[in-house]
């Protein structure tokens, strides 16, 4: 039988080094894209896995959790007592422990966010330039106070007792808000939580759009990951930046086209199953005694905190 295979395919490929020398390949942007996409996919998986644990906290009705989230957020913003804020912190930690979540891993994320948005951002408020009061730690001393336009710079600049209280309060408020929101995210399945938005009158069609967008992020992340892995497997040596830009823009267009096609076909699938413009979503399960107890505990706790 006569073979039609090209001759070069019947020979082993000789290694041909890069004639420009020993420069290292620079495709770190590809790795970053792949890693970020993989991280998105992993985050979705982790959230879904955490949210479906077999634990009584996880089984509490999503609507109860939704009401609690709004209620606790209001309580956190109303309370201006440091002890009460610390009690809320302890209560949320207790909830994390009861939900059997990896508290160290979760709080590492929470503290990072709270440090940036609740501490660094408000730190300037702790000095007497912004919060006048009794200085407890002097930082700079000038020869005399200065007045510039509407600003007054005192002779001594330092942390004030009142300023530090403001910073602590802000930090605890941010910490408590983030940690309670994280607690809800890690103990509730995303779809169930979205459905509870019905409580505040969000229409079914909008909820469907949120669900579709969430699914789309997941599928898009996987598509990007696959596309860039395929690209990485074929890119060797040094490629000119201009050529890389062309390749990447081509890939972006490809992903865009796939998105359009996916959107059209999903629409057809919806029409095929009876969609006529108004989505009708199912009812969620009824409240059980356990849900009412959970709701009462949260309400009583909130009222107790307000009385401190």
Residue 232 Cβ, how far from another protein at the closest point, in Å? 24
In 3D, which of 79, 100, 104 has the Cα closest to residue 177?
79
Residue 192 Cβ, how far from another protein at the closest point, in Å? 8
Give yes or no for residue 42 binding another protein (CB under 8 A): no
Give yes or no for residue 283 binding another protein (CB under 8 A): yes
Exposed e or buried b for every residue in 193-215, given b needs 16+ CB within 10 A?
A: bbbbbbeeeeeeeebbeebeeee
Considering Cα of 242, then 243, then 244, then 245, what sign does the dihedral take?
positive
Residue 105 Cβ, how far from another protein at the closest point, in Å? 21
Residue range at the interface with another protein (CB under 8 A); choices 43-51, 84-92, 133-141, 153-161: 43-51
Do residues 159 and 126 lie in contact, with contact meaning Cβ atoms separated by under 8 Å? yes
In 3D, which of 159, 230, 196, 198 has the Cα closest to residue 69?
196
Contacts of residue 280, defined as CB under 8 A and 6 or more positions apart, other chains included, come to 204
Give yes or no for residue 218 binding another protein (CB under 8 A): yes
Give yes or no for residue 288 binding another protein (CB under 8 A): no
Do residues 228 and 31 lie in contact, with contact meaning Cβ atoms separated by under 8 Å? no
Give yes or no for residue 48 binding another protein (CB under 8 A): yes
In the bound state with another protein, the residue whose beta carbon lies nearer, of 125 and 270, is 270
Residue in 89, 100, 189, 259 binding another protein, rule: CB under 8 A: 189
- The Cα 245–Cα 223 span in angstroms is 19
In the bound state with another protein, the residue whose beta carbon lies nearer, of 90 and 271, is 271
In the bound state with another protein, the residue whose beta carbon lies nearer, of 20 and 272, is 272
Residue 132 has which token pair?
């006048």
In the bound state with another protein, the residue whose beta carbon lies nearer, of 45 and 112, is 45
Number of Cβ within a 10 Å radius of residue 151 = 8
Residue in 46, 103, 269, 297 binding another protein, rule: CB under 8 A: 269
Residue 232 has which token pair?
């990485």
Do residues 127 and 163 lie in contact, with contact meaning Cβ atoms separated by under 8 Å? yes
Total residues interacting with another protein, rule: CB under 8 A: 34
Site track 64-83 with another protein (rule: CB under 8 A), x = hit: --------------------
- The Cα 109–Cα 116 span in angstroms is 11
Give yes or no for residue 17 binding another protein (CB under 8 A): no
- DSSP lists the bridge partners of residue 152 as 147
- The Cα 185–Cα 178 span in angstroms is 10
Give yes or no for residue 262 binding another protein (CB under 8 A): yes
Residue range at the interface with another protein (CB under 8 A); choices 112-120, 176-184, 244-252, 263-271: 263-271
Residue in 46, 82, 139, 271 binding another protein, rule: CB under 8 A: 271
Do residues 62 and 192 lie in contact, with contact meaning Cβ atoms separated by under 8 Å? yes
- DSSP letter at 152 equals E
In the bound state with another protein, the residue whose beta carbon lies nearer, of 214 and 256, is 214
Give yes or no for residue 55 binding another protein (CB under 8 A): no
Interaction site with another protein (CB under 8 A): 1, 44-45, 48, 52, 189-192, 194-195, 211-212, 214-215, 218-219, 262, 265-266, 268-276, 279-283
């Amino acid at each position: 039988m006569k073979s039609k295979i090209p001759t070069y395919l019947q020979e082993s490929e000789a290694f041909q080094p890069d004639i420009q020398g020993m420069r290292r390949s620079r495709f770190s942007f590809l790795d970053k894209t792949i890693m970020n996409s993989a991280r998105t996919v992993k985050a979705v998986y982790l959230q879904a896995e955490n949210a479906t644990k077999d634990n009584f906290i996880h089984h509490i009705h999503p609507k109860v959790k939704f009401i609690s989230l709004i209620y606790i957020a209001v309580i956190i913003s109303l309370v201006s007592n440091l002890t009460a804020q610390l009690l809320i912190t302890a209560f949320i930690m207790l909830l994390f422990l009861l939900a059997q979540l990896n508290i160290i891993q979760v709080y590492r994320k929470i503290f990072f966010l709270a440090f940036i948005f609740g501490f660094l951002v408000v730190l300037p408020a702790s000095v007497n330039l912004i919060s006048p009061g009794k200085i407890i730690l002097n930082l700079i001393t000038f020869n005399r106070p200065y007045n510039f336009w509407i600003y007054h710079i005192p002779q001594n600049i330092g942390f004030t007792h009142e300023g530090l209280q403001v910073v602590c309060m802000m930090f605890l408020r941010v910490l408590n808000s983030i940690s309670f929101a994280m607690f809800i995210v890690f103990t509730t399945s995303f779809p169930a939580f979205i459905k509870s938005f019905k409580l505040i009158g969000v229409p079914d069609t909008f909820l469907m759009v949120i669900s579709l967008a969430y699914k789309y992020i997941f599928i898009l992340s996987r598509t990007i990951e696959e596309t860039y892995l395929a690209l990485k497997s074929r890119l060797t040596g040094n490629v000119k930046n201009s050529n890389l830009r062309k390749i990447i823009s081509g890939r972006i267009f490809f992903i865009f086209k796939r998105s359009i096609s996916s959107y059209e076909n999903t629409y057809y699938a919806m029409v095929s199953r009876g969609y006529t413009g108004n989505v009708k979503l199912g009812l969620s399960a009824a409240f059980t005694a356990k849900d009412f107890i959970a709701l009462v505990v949260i309400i009583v706790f909130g009222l107790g905190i307000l009385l401190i």
